[in-house]
């Protein structure tokens, strides 16, 4: 703000600000994808009903989809096009109650079709090929096809093989892309095997490994925040940052996913993908150019720089927990081993806290604390950058207060925001301090049409932009770091400790020791 003279109050005479910071009234229009057909495998499942179709409806409602576009759902269940559309309508209304419109849905649903399929039968894929061509007739989709695998991971290789053998993976007049959900394998060997199998029929630039966390607006904003604001990047290193905390906490338990979760656990479910991606975005160097290849190259460099765990001292850098019975607001909650489908003697961790180090110049000696768990007190995903304490307390003679360090918080969910904590003087007191928070709410202040995670990754898949998708090398590097740890903790003879914590608590007390570090101790690890 100026005082009307063009000078800012408080600045020395003669110092002028010629103009206020520019405010952009609008951004360039979002690029529309080329016409295409989206074929969803596993279309009768929960993911399609609750996430994929509502996301596509929202894109359609906001004119992000090309006019020539169609959706062909396929699964084992037999149903007609109309029955499929009716089954999807309720999920879309529930996902977007504030914007759902019957007329818009009626127009959108005419782009949706259904075809039953036996995933393992080659003849069934030949029939699918015919149905796709029939749906494309007159719709000018340019034979551009995207195959979304909303199916259990055990079917990834089968479907990829059948698509390849039937000719559906060929790129002749148009493109062919395959989108697969996590998990990408369950260890390094299976990840390599899956990648090798996919590459028999698809080139790497045809494969889009989806991590929906990366589609969240605040995750995408991390790079812009870091590299487009000169006040932050100079202090984003070991000289000024004491440590980094990355947290992904869930209030829910395993729910109805015990069949999957028992074979996965928190390290496979959250660390290998979501948590490692957030670490890479926080720690990576600035790319020379803001495009997919350059950004993903810098993330790969971080994965290569991660220090392997010392298995002989693993308990010093990793704490695992499993939720037991608990109570929240008077409601009794069962423990993990009491959940349907979970073994009575299960050693599957539902909580993990780990300390990582990035062995490069920028981050040498700075611990990155990653923690994630189920049945915790609140649902939150955030990155907290804690800066070093001030080197000298000039108020020592008049106060014995401990001075809280500055903290920068990048919150990803549930409320997307950026917060900075710093010290100020209490009004009316000469030397009393108070911590205050500068808070930017992304949804309230950002403007524009916000896309949620699935809306963004679906749109980028249609655009062929792989920036938010995980590359083959990145998958294998993260698995190579975690696989020795998984082999050790899953070997019952090794007796790696698994601490119990009550459902609704903040996790095992033993995890607190990771944050109560002595600086010299951590630097020696």
Instruction: Provide the residue ranges of all domains of the chain, joining segments of one domain with +.
Output: 36-213, 214-524
Give the pair of three-digit tokens for residue 360.
């490069």
Look up residue 240 and give its DSSP letter.
T
162, burial (CB in 10 Å: exposed 0-12, middle 13-18, buried 19+): buried
Range 364-372 average pLDDT: 95
Higher pLDDT, 114 or 263: 114
**Which residues are CB-contacts of 330 (< 8 A; sequence separation ≥ 6)?**
none
How do residues 479-498 score in pLDDT, each as one tens digit?
Answer: 999 999 999 999 988 899 99
Give the pair of three-digit tokens for residue 399.
């106060």
Residue 211: which pLDDT band, with cuts at 50, 70 and 90? confident
Residue 524: which pLDDT band, with cuts at 50, 70 and 90? very low
Range 459-463 average pLDDT: 91
- Report the alpha-carbon distance of residue 358 to residue 367 in Å, rounded: 8
How do residues 425-437 score in pLDDT, each as one tens digit?
Answer: 777 656 677 778 7
> May I ask the CATH class of domain 214-524?
alpha beta
Average pLDDT, the chain: 86
Sign (positive or negative) of CA dihedral 448, 449, 453, 459: negative
- Catalytically active residues are 274
Pairing of strands 469-470, 417-425: unpaired
In this structure, how many other beta carbons lie within 10 angstroms of the beta carbon of residue 457? 24
pLDDT at 501 over 60: yes
- 166-170, 214-218, 271-275, 323-327: least confidently modelled range: 214-218
**What's the pLDDT at 11?**
34
Residue 235's closest CA among 33, 387, 52, 68? 387
pLDDT at 405 over 90: no
Residue 75's closest CA among 155, 172, 164? 155
SS3 assignment, position 64? coil
Which secondary structure element, helix H or strand E, spans residue 514, and what is its range?
helix 512-515
Residue 216: which pLDDT band, with cuts at 50, 70 and 90? confident
- Report the alpha-carbon distance of residue 248 to residue 380 in Å, rounded: 6
Give the pair of three-digit tokens for residue 383.
């990155």
Phi, psi of 470 (to 5 degrees): -90, 130
Give the pair of three-digit tokens for residue 188.
């390094």
Residue 146's closest CA among 136, 134, 158, 157? 136
* CATH of segment(s) 36-213: 3.40.50.720
Range 50-78 average pLDDT: 93
412, burial (CB in 10 Å: exposed 0-12, middle 13-18, buried 19+): buried
Residue 321: which pLDDT band, with cuts at 50, 70 and 90? very high
**What's the pLDDT at 480?**
96
Residue 30: which pLDDT band, with cuts at 50, 70 and 90? low
**What's the pLDDT at 17?**
35
The percentage of the chain sitting over the pLDDT mark of 70, rounded to a whole number, equals 88
Range 268-297 average pLDDT: 92
Residue 292: which pLDDT band, with cuts at 50, 70 and 90? confident
DSSP 24-63: -S--PPPPPPPSEEEEEETTTSHHIIIIIHHHHHHHHHTT
- Report the alpha-carbon distance of residue 459 to residue 176 in Å, rounded: 15
Q: What is the dihedral of CA 44, 467, 186, 310, to 10 degrees?
A: -150
**Which residues are CB-contacts of 291 (< 8 A; sequence separation ≥ 6)?**
467
Range 169-178 average pLDDT: 92
Residue with tokens 């698809």: 202
């Amino acid at each position: 703000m100026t005082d009307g003279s063009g000078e800012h109050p408080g600045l020395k005479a003669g110092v002028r600000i010629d103009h206020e910071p520019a405010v952009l009234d609008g951004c360039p229009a979002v690029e529309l994808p080329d016409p295409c057909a989206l074929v969803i495998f596993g279309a009768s499942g929960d993911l399609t009903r609750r996430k994929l179709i509502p996301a596509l409806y929202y894109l359609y409602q906001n004119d992000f989809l090309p006019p020539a576009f169609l959706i062909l759902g396929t699964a084992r269940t037999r149903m007609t096009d109309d029955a499929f559309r009716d089954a999807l309508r309720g999920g879309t209304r529930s996902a977007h109650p504030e914007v759902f419109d019957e007329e818009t849905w009626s127009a959108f649903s005419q782009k949706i079709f259904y075809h039953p399929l036996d995933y393992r039968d080659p003849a069934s894929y030949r029939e699918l090929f015919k149905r796709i061509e029939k749906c494309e007739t007159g719709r000018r989709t340019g034979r551009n096809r995207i195959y979304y695998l909303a199916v259990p991971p055990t079917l990834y290789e089968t479907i990829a093989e059948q698509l390849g053998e039937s000719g559906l993976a060929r790129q002749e007049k148009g493109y062919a892309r395959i989108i697969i959900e996590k998990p990408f394998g369950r260890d390094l060997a299976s990840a390599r095997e899956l990648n090798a199998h996919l590459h028999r029929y698809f080139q790497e630039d045809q494969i889009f490994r989806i991590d929906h966390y990366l589609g969240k607006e605040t995750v995408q904003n991390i790079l812009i925040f870091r590299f487009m604001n000169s006040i932050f990047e100079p202090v984003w290193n070991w000289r000024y940052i004491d440590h980094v905390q990355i947290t992904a906490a869930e209030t829910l338990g395993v729910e109805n996913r015990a069949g999957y979760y028992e074979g996965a656990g928190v390290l496979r479910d959250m660390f290998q993908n979501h948590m490692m991606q957030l670490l890479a975005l926080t720690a990576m160097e600035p790319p020379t150019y803001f495009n997919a290849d350059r950004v993903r190259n810098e993330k790969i460099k971080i994965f290569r720089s991660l220090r392997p765990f010392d298995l002989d001292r693993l308990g010093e850098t990793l704490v695992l927990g499993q939720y037991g019975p608990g109570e929240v607001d008077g409601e009794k909650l069962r423990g993990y081993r009491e959940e349907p489908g979970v073994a009575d003697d299960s050693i599957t961790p539902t909580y993990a806290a780990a300390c990582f180090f990035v062995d490069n110049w920028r981050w040498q000696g700075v611990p990155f604390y990653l923690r994630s768990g189920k049945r915790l007190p609140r649902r939150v995903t955030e990155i907290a950058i804690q800066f070093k304490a001030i080197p000298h307390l000039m108020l020592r003679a008049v106060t014995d207060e401990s001075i809280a360090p500055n903290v920068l918080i990048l919150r990803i969910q549930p409320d997307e925001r950026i917060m900075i904590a710093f010290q100020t003087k209490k009004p009316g007191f000469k030397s009393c301090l108070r911590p205050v928070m500068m808070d930017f709410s992304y949804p309230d202040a950002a403007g524009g049409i916000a896309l949620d995670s699935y809306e963004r990754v679906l749109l980028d898949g249609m655009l062929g932009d792989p920036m938010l998708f995980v590359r083959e090398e990145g998958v294998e590097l993260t698995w190579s770091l975690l696989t020795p740890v998984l082999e050790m903790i899953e070997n019952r003879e090794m007796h790696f400790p698994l601490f119990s914590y009550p459902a609704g608590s903040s996790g095992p007390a033993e995890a607190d020791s990771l944050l109560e570090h002595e600086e010299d101790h951590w630097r020696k690890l």
